[in-house]
Structure 1
């Protein structure tokens, strides 16, 4: 799946399943699934991720992994959801961990896209 603005919106609107949202981040971090062995290859993953998460974490289910993801977004990219997409955030009744973690994924992907010049 391509890292398009429509894809980012689909993550925010919860129209892409959690596994796909996670896989987009895993791919960007360098995790690769080896069909032959049935295992994850983390040899391309930065050491600060690989040491803590030898297999890709579920960012929607794991608060610690999401916190690490948030902290890895450069300060100048923290507001990309608002600046690039005009995303105003979720309504008070929608503020559940699952959706806020999806917003973190979306912002991280926007940051990654910007940092990589994609």
Structure 2
């Protein structure tokens, strides 16, 4: 997970505009949640994973492909940060017919990362 882009508004926009792969989006969120891949053990170290993420997901989940971890991610965004994409970036959402579950999950990850950026 080295060589990840810096989490900033340019990166958030790149996620929303599908300019960053789903794999990298996942890795950014995993990194912020505290998942660390131990190369020597060839296993995930969850000792620094926040809250109960490590219990529920001992291996980091694919937020783009799977709804349940994305729901948990959404619920972990503080209420005051739920509209950050709109408030901070002016993101108006996707046009009807131009988005599906994948885009919605990427937007959730982007909003979570923006919230993380605000609080850390």
What TM-score range do you get, normalising by the shorter chain? Answer: over 0.9
- RMSD of aligned C-alpha atoms? 0.7
Aligned length: 116
Q: Tell me the SS of whatever aligns to 1:33.
A: strand
Q: CA deviation at 1:93?
A: 1.1
Query: What runs of 5+ residues in structure 1 fail to find an aligned partner?
Result: none
- Aligned to 1:40, the other structure's residue is in SS state strand
Query: Does structure 1 residue 3 correspond to structure 2 residue 7?
Result: yes
SS of the residue 1:54 aligns to: coil
Aligned to 1:35: 39
Aligned residue for 1:68? 72
Partner residue, 1:20: 24
1:55 aligned residue (42, 54, 59): 59
Return the TM-score normalized by structure 1.
0.96
- Whose helix fraction is larger, Structure 1's or Structure 2's? 1
Structure 1 runs (4+) greater than 6 angstroms displaced:
none
Give secondary structure in 1 for the equivalent of 2:24: helix
How far apart are residue 39 of structure 1 and its match? 1.0
Deviation readout 1:49-88 (Å, 9 max, x if unpaired): 1110011000001100000000000000000000000000
- Counterpart CA distance in 1 for 2:97 and 2:49 is 36
